[in-house]
Amino acid sequence: MIFKIAKFQIAVLLICLFSPIIADARIDYTIVPRLSIEGRYSDNYYNREKDYDLGKFKDDALLMTVSPGILLSLITRDTTLDLDYSLNSRGYFIEREDDRFEYFNQRGSGIFRANLSRDFSILLRDEIIKDEEITLIDETLTREERRLEYIRNIGGGGLIYRYGEGREASVDYLLTIIDYFNNIVDDNKRHDFKGHILHSFNMRNNFDISYRHSIVDYKRLNEPGQVGRDDLYEDEIRGKYMYNFTPRFSSGLNYGYVEVHYDEPLGMPPIDYHVHDAAIESIYSISRYLITDGRIGLFLREVYGMDNGNEDARDKGLIYRAGIKYTYPSFTGMTAYEGGYGSNYINPERLEYYNYWRLSGDLTYRFMRDALMLTGHGYYMVNRYPDSPNSRRDHIWNAGGGISYRIIDWLLFSLEYNHTARNSNIQGLHYVENTYLARFTISYKYSTIGKEREQKERIRDGTKRGEE
């Protein structure tokens, strides 16, 4: 598996490295070395559920990270290549277990963009991660399995064709490979094929349609010596039409259809999900800085295959959203109230589908010429899982914020706080976590971009003085 990942990564990076040289002899570059020192404290490191009535306690943990890294950008007339690498040295101390341990993780990525012609452009990307902490939190794992050594590789590319103003067509492919160094999960793969067309008929009429086909293949160890396999196939098509009544008001229709098929869900018969949704949505600019949006529609879900191939479940409901956003050079804020349905077809608890409503908001405030920035966010959400035993219902709170201050050009200091809590009607599923973070980041940017322009300006100024 590691060899397969390495071959794919090497092939992509070789293409990225040599293409700019072939395309253009003139190469500008930007180098940004950096060093980050971070302390993170969590009062529920393992993300374990907590039942207050039974007196279960959480696991406090302090994580210290020293992370050197470097970014290299190569730029020609028609191409850009970004290479990024970071090495993290981490040390943990878990209070209740009186446990200390250290480990390293690595992350490297490459992104290549090129304009093949005036109308065609291409993008290639590859990212490889070797870690023991599941910072991306794989949904196939339970909460207590967060520290597992793994390699994750994400690679793919896309092609964009522009055939007029406001008109383009694109195709994309993304491959995600996850290899765990244990027998819990192995050889996880996900293939995503996407196509998208955006067409502007005129100043008032806009239309876009997209299609996605996903293939997911993973294994999970259920009992000692017994491997459960889930193969999932998902197709999604979405279309949207918008009409601009005035420069400040636009409205339109959108429709989506999702079909999901489980090939072998943990030894059970195959299951098929079919979900339709349709809605009317509008956007209105109250002023230059204030924008509102709204959406109202219906969804219909059908499940087949859970009862001898007959229709097993049918559910319908409303899709809705009302939001407002304020944008100013120094301040950005938004709030929204929305609801409908959601899906998460790959998770250890088999909670594929849920109804929800959510109230959320966030804000960002910059001052002192962007040297000081304040942020805040929060939401309250209710999820209902109609297919789960006892009709599970979760209430989730989240709130947090941060402050960052650029002390000097190359030194940034940040403080962050985040609180998450979940209450459920199922006993033992209560969950609370508070996270505190402090970080110093040292970075320095050196670039040849602009130096030629400065030189030309000096020559031009000298020529003008000579003419005078």
Tell me what pLDDT residue 54 has: 46
Q: How far apart are CA 53 and CA 68, in angstroms?
A: 45
In this prediction, residues 394-417 reach a mean pLDDT of 95
Instruction: Give the model's confidence band at 59: pLDDT under 50 very low, under 70 low, under 90 confident, else very high.
Output: low
- The answer, yes or no, to whether residue 417 has pLDDT greater than 80, is yes
Q: How far apart are CA 179 and CA 306, in angstroms?
A: 31
Give per-residue pLDDT as tens, 186-211: 567 889 999 999 999 998 999 999 99
With residue 123 as reference, give the H or E element that holds it: strand 120-133
Give per-residue pLDDT as tens, 9-31: 555 555 555 555 455 557 888 99
| Contact between residue 374 and residue 382 where contact means Cβ atoms under 8 Å apart | no
Q: Write the CB contacts of 114 (distance below 8 Å, at least 6 apart in sequence).
A: 19, 20, 23, 78, 79, 80, 121, 122
Percent of the chain with pLDDT over 70: 73
Instruction: Give the model's confidence band at 50: pLDDT under 50 very low, under 70 low, under 90 confident, else very high.
Output: low
- Read off the DSSP letter of residue 47: -
CA atoms within 13 A on the CB side of 310: 3
Q: What domains sit in the chain, N to C, each tagged with a CATH number?
A: 28-463 (2.40.170.20)
| Contact between residue 292 and residue 268 where contact means Cβ atoms under 8 Å apart | no
At residue 139's C-alpha, the angle toward residues 133 and 142, to 5°, is 70
Tell me what pLDDT residue 112 has: 94
Q: Give the SS3 label for residue 21.
A: helix
- The answer, yes or no, to whether residue 2 has pLDDT greater than 50, is no
Q: Is 356 exposed, middle or buried (0-12, 13-18, 19+ CB in 10 A)?
A: middle
Largest Cα–Cα distance in the chain? Answer: 92
At 462, give phi and psi (nearest 5°): -65, -40
Instruction: Give the model's confidence band at 459: pLDDT under 50 very low, under 70 low, under 90 confident, else very high.
Output: very low
Give per-residue pLDDT as tens, 259-304: 988 775 555 667 788 999 999 999 999 999 999 999 999 999 888 7
Tell me what pLDDT residue 460 has: 45
Q: How far apart are CA 210 and CA 198, in angstroms?
A: 9
- The answer, yes or no, to whether residue 238 has pLDDT greater than 90, is yes
- Read off the DSSP letter of residue 224: T
Give per-residue pLDDT as tens, 68-126: 999 999 998 888 999 999 998 888 776 555 556 677 889 999 999 999 888 999 999 99
Q: Is 465 exposed, middle or buried (0-12, 13-18, 19+ CB in 10 A)?
A: exposed
- The answer, yes or no, to whether residue 163 has pLDDT greater than 50, is yes
Which pTM does this prediction carry? 0.80
What is the secondary structure of 225-281 as a DSSP string? TEEEEEEEEEEEEEEEEEEEEETTEEEEEEEEEEEEEESSSTTSPPEEEEEEEEEEE
At residue 193's C-alpha, the angle toward residues 253 and 227, to 5°, is 115
**Mean pLDDT for the chain overall:** 81
Short-list 374, 299, 303, CA closest to 338: 299
